[in-house]
Chain A
Amino acid sequence: MKILYPFVAVLGLILIAFLGVQVGLAPVFGIVFPYLALLVFIGGFINKVVGWGKSPVPFRIPTTCGQANSLPWIKQNQIDCPSTTAGVVARMFFEVVLFRSLFRNTQASVYDGPKLRYGSSKYLWLFALLFHYSFLVIVVRHMRLFTDPMPFFVPVLEFFDGILQIGAPTLYVADLILVGAVLFLFVRRVLLPAIRYISLPADYFPLFLILGIALTGILMRYYLRVDIIAIKQLTVGLATLSPTITGEIGSIFYIHLFLVCTLLVYFPFSKLMHMGGVFMSPTRNMANNNRMVRHINPWNDPSIKPHSYMAYEDEFREFMAEAGLPLEKELPAKEEAPVADEPTAEKE
């Protein structure tokens, strides 16, 4: 069910787009939905990030993954345990751009004995990188459709992406990698018992959705002919707020576009927001300078005071006097049997 429902949902989306265009709703799928989706995406994304930002970071809680800044002759690990802003920027750079934490991944096995072994396990890191970067390349390449003239880096990227020079139109490597990586992530989720057990429909849905987007895109580029001139006219029109639909673009385009719209709308309300969260995670984006620079908690409660020394001495004064411990207030002259076994109420 966890896998079937999201799969059916994506098929349903495809069907909706296909039928919608058949009954003459092309302007809705080509113009209205893209604008709506973009608005929801931007609004939702900002809303989520602002929502996170509204909550304070009461304590400085970096996860220190290396030697801290300490005595001058002890070498600090400036990236994994930064104590300066520059260090934090470096740590975040490696985290966001190279997935440094995921690179640490290991695979533990428990044998009878019992014995534990930890093996290196880099494939999740590798495929996660491949997935995200091929996705990025494809998104940037699509800027060709929304800009006229296009920025210089788009043709450069296209050149390198098509460097294998296979087929006509030229095969883009990123397309292959994206499909391969999505399939890998899916298969991993299904095959590894632990990962399968923790997976929710919300983990399969984006995979199917992205796979759907990639496959419809590939179909459109390599197999089904679409009117590329008309598409560019529409997309540039969308970008310049004067969209027009001319001629028969082909259903496959609308299906592709509708799935992209769905992804945009789904994004801010889902785990895909890890894209924003990774920048704001307090265990990663804070300097480990806790004892050097005071961190302020906006809701720190100054009314919380320690059980006072005087209350403590009041309770144990006789014992303290007998043990020769210094006192703030000397014992009264008359003898009283000490009672110290019952907790007394706070005196603050």
Chain B
Amino acid sequence: MANLKADELGVKVASDPSLTTGAVPAKDWMDTPAVFEPGNYCYQGKSEKVEYISDALKNNPGLFGEPRDWDIESEDWKLPENWKEIIINGIKERLDKFRSFKIFMDCCVRCGACADKCHFFLGTGDPKNMPVLRAELMRSIYRNEFTKAGKILGRLAGAREMTFAVLKEWFMYFYQCTECRRCSVFCPYGIDTAEITMMGRELLHLVGVNTNWILEPASNSNRTGNHMGLQPHTLKENVEYLCDDIEEITGIRITPTWNRKGAEVLFITPSADVFAEPGIYTAMGYLLLFEHIGLDYTWSTYASEGGNFGLFTNNELMKKLNAKMYAEAKRLGVKWIIGGECGHMWRVLHQYMDTMNGPADFLEVPKSPITGTVFENAATTKMVHISEFTADLIKHGKLKLDPSRNDHRKVTFHDSCNTSRAMGMLEEPREILKAVVNNFQEMPENTIRETTFCCGSGTGLNTGEIMDLRMRAGLPRANAVQYVHEKNDVNTLGCVCAIDRATLSALIDYWVPEVQVCGLSELVGNALVMDGEKEKETGLRFEALEGMEG
């Protein structure tokens, strides 16, 4: 991969001959070492974070290796002496625990259908970012240790020894995958690189190879209830500030409740939504919506994180962090749960939560108190996505909406990887959009719905030290935004993901600075006609509304 400076990257993806320009690399991939240099890797986890997380999961020792100070660019990662054994045993254990992993190790035919589906490959041209090769990084070791052909024929059978060079490769490329599952849509056998990356990261953690950008939020989430590390009073205060802004804009004072027992609904959203722009505008949208319909609901400071960075480490930590949701719902005695806008959060809620931490038999099947709709699709999980909830309200005409309040916005919609490919929530956000904005324009086919492109910074890669990589990985997404910006004057990129709101902002600021990123609920909040409101002159981010300028 050529390491271009930012301004060059703005013109071309690769300067040297690369797969993106049609050239075949001269060296076989097994002979091409991974080289770490500033800018192409996430910083290693601080030893105190490893220590804290290990202690939190002390019933499952060894999951995070030994806490230590180490340096990724060094040739000595201070690995345990028997690290190879730990890795090989770890593979064995996971082959026995995950059928997906076992099958995906065996049945790839290397047809290459996945190759150009990966945003990391399209943005870097690095052959090891083709999903098939990313998986081969692991398969080559699997063959060597667990298949007859690999043991006898070695490299001829695509097998190789586990070495430090391989470990470095794993660290580099399992952290250049956002587990977005786009490749798995196109694979004729449904091979899901996310499964392989997850296993790879679990294995790396076993020998203490990790990133701080994931471990620190996960530690925070365990201790303070949220990734941002917001303590209870700060959290409440942040939301009060948002209520101040809402009052200034609409003239309505909202006083949400916290940790309230006996509320009908518990509301959980990513903490980023109450922490920074543009997420806070989405949170203001939630507040306005719930006020508008008079929902009997409560926020929680203890379960104050929708997201789950545990998902990016191992299934044990994911389970532990997620368990707070049901625990809090039970403690507060609510009937069901609404979840805010977030991508990987919904991967966990939809595909893992009930299995890991259910059954939630102390909750009731979610029923909208406003429309009477029973959310049968959440009958056992008892957790409903805010977009499902809002779309139902709109369909039943329960919201007073004035979409012209969003007329200063020409909106396109970014499907999050997880809500589209791990949940199938495609129409609900669009139904909402059609009701709250007058100008909605889809991005081109092959870049939306189930073939949507990742923001390029998911799975804990949303850190500043790999900006070049992030801008590359997000190129396919940004390019589609640019297309509708140039063709249709789109100036707003809607989304239903907190990571998106943060990362797309940086991405779009680089590639298409004329476009703003906003959560769907912000657009809902803008359009809501509240009882007793004053004449609105601005939107939720104090931007002038059309016809109200000056």
Given contacts A63-B184, A200-B158, is CB(A57)–CB(B99) below 8 Å? Answer: yes
A307 to chain B, nearest CB (A): 5
Contact B450 A61 (CB under 8 A): no
Q: What sequence of 0s and 1s flags, for each residue 27-60 of chain A, a beta carbon within 8 Å of any chain B beta carbon?
A: 0000000000000000000001001111111111
CA distance A297 to B100 in the complex (A): 13
Q: What sequence of 0s and 1s flags, for each residue 290-318 of chain B, a beta carbon within 8 Å of any chain A beta carbon?
A: 00000000000110000000000001100
- Of B96, B104, B233, B359, the most chain A CB neighbours within 10 A belong to B233
CA distance A324 to B68 in the complex (A): 40
Asked if A107 is an interface residue, CB under 8 A from chain B, the answer is: yes
Asked if B77 is an interface residue, CB under 8 A from chain A, the answer is: no
Contacts of B104 in A (CB 8 A): 281
Asked if A241 is an interface residue, CB under 8 A from chain B, the answer is: no
CA distance A200 to B156 in the complex (A): 7
Given contacts A124-B111, A273-B107, is CB(A297)–CB(B355) below 8 Å? Answer: yes
Asked if B232 is an interface residue, CB under 8 A from chain A, the answer is: yes
Given contacts A197-B19, A325-B233, is CB(A116)–CB(B476) below 8 Å? Answer: yes
Contact A193 B232 (CB under 8 A): no
Contact A274 B189 (CB under 8 A): yes
Contact B111 A101 (CB under 8 A): no
Contact A64 B192 (CB under 8 A): no
Contacts of A270 in B (CB 8 A): 149
Q: What sequence of 0s and 1s flags, for each residue 35-55 of chain B, a beta carbon within 8 Å of any chain A beta carbon?
A: 000000000000010001001
Interface residue from B19, B110, B328, B379 paired with A203 (Cβ < 8 Å): B110
CA distance A196 to B388 in the complex (A): 45
Interface residue from B147, B192, B350 paired with A63 (Cβ < 8 Å): B192
Would you list 20 pairs from A and B whose C-beta atoms are within 8 A, ordered by A residue?
A56-B99, A58-B98, A60-B355, A70-B428, A74-B427, A95-B190, A106-B117, A107-B116, A110-B125, A114-B13, A192-B112, A196-B24, A281-B107, A284-B190, A291-B350, A291-B380, A305-B320, A306-B324, A326-B258, A340-B231
Interface residue from A67, A198, A292, A304 paired with B319 (Cβ < 8 Å): A304
Asked if A315 is an interface residue, CB under 8 A from chain B, the answer is: yes
Contact A193 B427 (CB under 8 A): no
B454 to chain A, nearest CB (A): 14
Given contacts A57-B99, A116-B122, A116-B476, is CB(A292)–CB(B376) below 8 Å? Answer: yes
**Closest B residue by C-beta to A206:** B109
Asked if B102 is an interface residue, CB under 8 A from chain A, the answer is: yes
Asked if B62 is an interface residue, CB under 8 A from chain A, the answer is: no
Contact B395 A73 (CB under 8 A): yes
Interface residue from A55, A108, A199 paired with B99 (Cβ < 8 Å): A55
CA distance A66 to B331 in the complex (A): 37
Given contacts A290-B350, A309-B327, is CB(A65)–CB(B100) below 8 Å? Answer: no
Interface residue from B186, B222, B447 paired with A104 (Cβ < 8 Å): B186
A338 to chain B, nearest CB (A): 10
Contact A198 B421 (CB under 8 A): no
Contacts of A315 in B (CB 8 A): 223
Given contacts A59-B351, A71-B392, A301-B60, is CB(A283)–CB(B192) below 8 Å? Answer: yes
Contacts of B187 in A (CB 8 A): 101
Asked if A86 is an interface residue, CB under 8 A from chain B, the answer is: no
Q: What sequence of 0s and 1s flags, for each residue 271-286 of chain A, a beta carbon within 8 Å of any chain B beta carbon?
A: 1011011101111100
B146 to chain A, nearest CB (A): 10
Given contacts A56-B99, A274-B109, A319-B233, is CB(A295)–CB(B446) below 8 Å? Answer: no
Interface residue from A55, A108, A193, A280 paired with B97 (Cβ < 8 Å): A55
Asked if A224 is an interface residue, CB under 8 A from chain B, the answer is: no
Contact B428 A71 (CB under 8 A): yes
Interface residues of B in 319-363 (CB under 8 A from A): 319-321, 323-324, 327-328, 331, 349-352, 354-356, 358-359
Contact B52 A343 (CB under 8 A): yes
Q: What sequence of 0s and 1s flags, for each residue 513-546 of chain B, a beta carbon within 8 Å of any chain A beta carbon?
A: 0000000000000000000000000000000000
Contacts of B195 in A (CB 8 A): 61
Interface residue from B55, B99, B127, B445 paired with A282 (Cβ < 8 Å): B99
Asked if B71 is an interface residue, CB under 8 A from chain A, the answer is: no
B6 to chain A, nearest CB (A): 13
CA distance A51 to B103 in the complex (A): 10
Asked if B287 is an interface residue, CB under 8 A from chain A, the answer is: no
CA distance A291 to B25 in the complex (A): 46
Given contacts A5-B156, A114-B475, is CB(A194)–CB(B127) below 8 Å? Answer: yes
Contact B377 A307 (CB under 8 A): no
Contacts of B22 in A (CB 8 A): 193
Contacts of B320 in A (CB 8 A): 304-307
**Size of interface on B: residues with Cβ below 8 Å to A:** 135
Residues of A within 8 A of B (CB): 5, 48, 51-61, 63-71, 73-75, 77, 80-81, 83, 95, 99, 101-102, 104-108, 110, 112-116, 118, 124, 128, 192-203, 269-271, 273-274, 276-278, 280-284, 288-297, 299-301, 303-309, 312-313, 315-316, 319-320, 322-326, 340, 343-346
Q: What sequence of 0s and 1s flags, for each residue 419-445 of chain B, a beta carbon within 8 Å of any chain A beta carbon?
A: 011111111100100000000000011
Contacts of B113 in A (CB 8 A): 101-102, 105, 124
Residues of B within 8 A of A (CB): 9-13, 19-25, 29, 48, 52, 55-60, 95-104, 106-113, 115-117, 122, 125, 127, 130, 132-133, 136, 147-149, 156-158, 181, 184-192, 195, 219, 222-225, 231-233, 236-237, 258-261, 301-302, 315-316, 319-321, 323-324, 327-328, 331, 349-352, 354-356, 358-359, 373, 375-381, 383, 388, 391-392, 395, 420-428, 431, 444-447, 449-451, 475-476, 479-480
Contact B355 A58 (CB under 8 A): yes
Contact B219 A343 (CB under 8 A): yes
Contacts of A201 in B (CB 8 A): 156-158
Contact A309 B425 (CB under 8 A): no
Contact A312 B149 (CB under 8 A): no
Contact A68 B355 (CB under 8 A): no
Contact B231 A316 (CB under 8 A): yes
Q: A273-B107, A274-B188, A291-B383 are in contact. List 11 more A-B contacts (CB 8 A).
A: A48-B106, A104-B185, A110-B21, A114-B12, A202-B158, A281-B103, A282-B99, A291-B354, A294-B358, A304-B319, A343-B223
Contact B136 A198 (CB under 8 A): yes
Contact B102 A52 (CB under 8 A): yes
Contact B428 A74 (CB under 8 A): yes
Interface residue from A66, A99, A114, A128 paired with B424 (Cβ < 8 Å): A66
Contact A304 B188 (CB under 8 A): no
CA distance A304 to B320 in the complex (A): 6
CA distance A281 to B103 in the complex (A): 7
**Closest B residue by C-beta to A297:** B355
**Closest A residue by C-beta to B57:** A304
Interface residue from A101, A196, A294 paired with B186 (Cβ < 8 Å): A101
A339 to chain B, nearest CB (A): 12
